[in-house]
Structures are given as C-alpha cells and as structure tokens.
Amino acid sequence: MIPKDSLKYEAVPLPERDLISGTDSLTAAQHFLTTMKTRHTVRDFSSTPVDPQVIEICITTAGRAPSGANHQPWHFVAISDPAIKQQIRQAAEKEERNFYGGTAGDEWIKALEPIGTGPDKPHLETAPWLIVVFAQRWGEFDNGSRYKNYYVPESVGLAAGFLITALHMAGLSSLIHTPNPMKFLNPLLNRPASEKPVMIVATGHACTDATIPKAATIKKPLTQILTMLR
C-alpha cells in the first residue's frame, strides 16, 4: 500500500507489452478460449506434489488483478501442511452437514443435485494445496491508522478469477469450496478480524481417472450471455 504521506497522483509511462492487433488479436483470443475450454472443476486430486514456487507465482498473478482505488483488498493463505488441511476439512464438513441437513433449503439442494455434491469433502485433504482467499474489509497504514477499502467483493472476485486462470495455465486443476459460515478459518490461520474468508481453492493435479459432472459441461451459448450494441 502507498504510504499515507505519499497519496498523490503521478503519471508514469505505460509498461512495455506485446502489441497485438488485427488477425493476430483474433487468433490470440481464439487460442485462449480453446485453452480455457479445457479448464474444469475437479474433486479427484492425485498425490503428485506441486512445487511451492508454482503456487507463489500463481498468487503473484492473482495480485495483479485490478481493484478499487488500487487498494488490493485481498490476502491469500496457501496450505500444504496435512494437519492444517485435516482441521480445515473437519471444520468445513461440520458446516456442510448443517447445510445439507436443512439450513440450505430444498430449492438450493435441488439445484446442486446435477453437480453431485454432498457434505463429504475429501479433496480438502487429498489436494496438495489449499489456497484460502481472504477479503480485507479495511486496511491499515504503517502507523496503524485504518483506511477504507472500496469495491471489495468485486476486487477479490477479479483476483480469484486471475488465480484460477493462473493455476490452469500452470497445468493444475482447482475446486472452489465455500462452506458457510467460514469464520473458523480466521483463528485457524491466524488472520485478523479485518479479513473475511470468501473461498477455499483446492488445487493440484487431477487423478488420471478423475470425473466431472455432465451438467458442468453445459454452458450458456453466447446469445444468452452477450448483448452487443454497435
């Protein structure tokens, strides 16, 4: 964060980047679409280790996401420690049993049926890494004074999208898990009250016999997600 006494506008040249236009731009867009079509949420992870540096680089990529007032209101906790993953699973499954036991409501449970989910979450232990994404509701300057963060859900959502894409581009699979509530994660991971856990990203290599729900392969066509005015 910029120090409190340095909050002033200063223009700098746009950093160098690849200049793509015309047919090259169309080709690049199509290539990325083709790549992202191979991304699927999986629940079956192999025990193949993942280099911590890969996780660090993917989280660095997530930190490049745009954010309200450039406050970057996020924090990531990456966990490979088996004991901590076990504690997260136990706490998460407790909440999930309540969820599937009645707190979710019939309509929500019915909507999840084609996905095949339930209260058991073994992936929270079998995945080599868990990345817990926290949203920072407020920040602090070096002198301890608080400052307000802006568009926190939107900013953290963008960073999470960057993270999921980076993991996929690194050859990893991922699964977003959102037990409700998730407040058990703050004391477990020693995070301050200013941070709210918003998701757990399980990541690693998919098993060779991994499966996905057929329903998850059905995506809305472009005509349903795009209105183009020109």
Residue 157: pLDDT over 70 = yes
For the four alpha carbons of 197, 79, 162 and 174, in that order, the dihedral sign comes to negative
- Classify burial at 228, counting beta carbons within 10 Å of its beta carbon; exposed 0-12, middle 13-18, buried 19 or more: exposed
Average pLDDT (65-93) is 97
Q: What are phi and psi of 200, to 5 degrees?
A: -115, 125
Residue 156: pLDDT over 80 = yes
Residue 4: pLDDT over 80 = no
Tally the residues of the chain: 230
**Where is pLDDT greater, at 191 or 142?**
191
What average pLDDT is seen over the chain?
94
Q: Name the token pair of 107.
A: 């309509």
Residue 52: pLDDT over 70 = yes
Domains by residue range for the chain, with CATH: 49-78+127-210 (3.40.109.10)
Q: pLDDT exceeding 90 applies to what percent of the chain? A: 87
Residue 144: pLDDT over 90 = no
Name the pTM for this structure: 0.95
Residue with tokens 């926190």: 152
Query: For residue 200, how many other CB atoms are within 10 A of its CB?
Result: 26
For 171-201, what is each residue's pLDDT tens digit?
Answer: 999 999 999 899 999 999 999 999 999 999 9
Residue 61: pLDDT over 70 = yes
Minimum mean pLDDT among 68-77, 97-106, 153-162: which range?
Answer: 97-106
Interatomic CA distance for residues 22 and 3, integer angstroms? 42
User: At a CB cut-off of 8 Å and minimum separation 6, what does 206 contact?
Assistant: 42, 44, 45, 46, 173
pLDDT number for residue 142: 79
Average pLDDT (35-50) is 96
Residue 40: pLDDT over 80 = yes
